[in-house]
């Protein structure tokens, strides 16, 4: 085990620049559509902004000890997260909501009895934040689902760091997501399939890291 601070630094800036260039032409084609969608989402989700930002803030400040364990116990949680991701890739509010329901069930079924000390405390912090995001994804419009998916992705990434996984995963990044602040996600496939924009900018993004 070693301390891992989840910060991108100079490496992330390089990814941001390179990926933004690769997405530039795709962005031009959808610029008008995205502007209208963002304006609509802003009005529609005004009442939820505080909760979303609170969850994101907690996730980004989290310091997690890294595990290299091939842990099968996290697989149901990751499978449900991937179901959400694939629902957003397909522009399906219903599929994303079904994945979020599955995620809540997976967390409820997870056996915490072997988690001790700091690991238990860190897991509980991740759990609280992830459940809040999942509950919003169950009941929200697809634009608001995507806002909460950004925070949820941080939570699930931290969970993998904390407890390990038996799965091979890819950590992807899109510089155009989250109002051009950028957004990461975990994928079970190496090909970029962007959950933040779906069909509008499906290939926008790059692989930052392979896990396992």
Q: Which tens digits make up the pLDDT trace of 127-167?
A: 999 999 999 999 999 999 999 999 999 999 999 999 999 99
Using CA atoms, how far residue 116 sits from 76, 108, 119, 163, 168, in Å, is 21, 18, 6, 12, 26
Say which range, 17-31, 119-133, 145-159, has the weakest mean pLDDT.
17-31
Evaluate if residue 43 carries a pLDDT over 70: no
d(CA 113, CA 179): 40
What does the block give as tokens for 49?
Answer: 């902004």
At residue 187, the 3 state secondary structure works out as: strand
Give, to the nearest 10 degrees, the angle between helix 49-61 and helix 142-163: 20
What does the block give as tokens for 28?
Answer: 């031009």
> Which DSSP symbol is given to 186?
E
> Which DSSP symbol is given to 3?
E
pTM for the model stands at 0.76
pLDDT band at 69 (very low <50, low <70, confident <90, very high): confident
What is the reported pLDDT for 21?
54
Question: What is the average pLDDT across 83-110?
Answer: 98
Evaluate if residue 110 carries a pLDDT over 80: yes
d(CA 103, CA 152): 11
Evaluate if residue 195 carries a pLDDT over 90: yes
Evaluate if residue 15 carries a pLDDT over 50: no
Nearest in space to 41 (alpha carbons), one of 133, 205, 185, 177: 177
């Amino acid at each position: 085990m070693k301390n891992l601070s989840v910060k991108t630094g100079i490496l992330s800036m390089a990814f941001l620049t390179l990926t933004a260039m690769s997405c530039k032409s795709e962005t031009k084609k959808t610029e008008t559509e995205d502007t209208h969608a963002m304006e609509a989402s802003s009005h529609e989700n005004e009442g939820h902004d505080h909760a979303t930002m609170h969850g994101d803030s907690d996730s980004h400040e989290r310091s997690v000890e890294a595990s290299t364990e091939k842990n099968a116990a996290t697989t149901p949680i990751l499978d449900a997260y991937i179901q959400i991701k694939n629902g957003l890739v397909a522009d399906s509010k219903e599929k994303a909501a079904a994945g979020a329901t599955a995620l809540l069930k997976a967390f409820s079924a997870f056996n915490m009895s072997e988690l001790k000390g700091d690991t238990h405390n860190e897991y509980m912090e991740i759990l609280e934040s992830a459940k809040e995001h999942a509950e919003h994804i169950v009941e929200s419009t697809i634009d608001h689902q995507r806002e909460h998916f950004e925070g949820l992705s941080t939570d699930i990434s931290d969970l993998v760091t904390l407890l390990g996984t038996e799965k091979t995963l890819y950590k992807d990044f899109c510089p155009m997501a989250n109002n051009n602040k950028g957004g990461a996600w975990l994928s079970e496939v190496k090909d970029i399939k962007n959950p933040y924009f779906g069909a509008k900018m499906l290939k926008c993004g790059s692989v930052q890291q392979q896990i396992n």
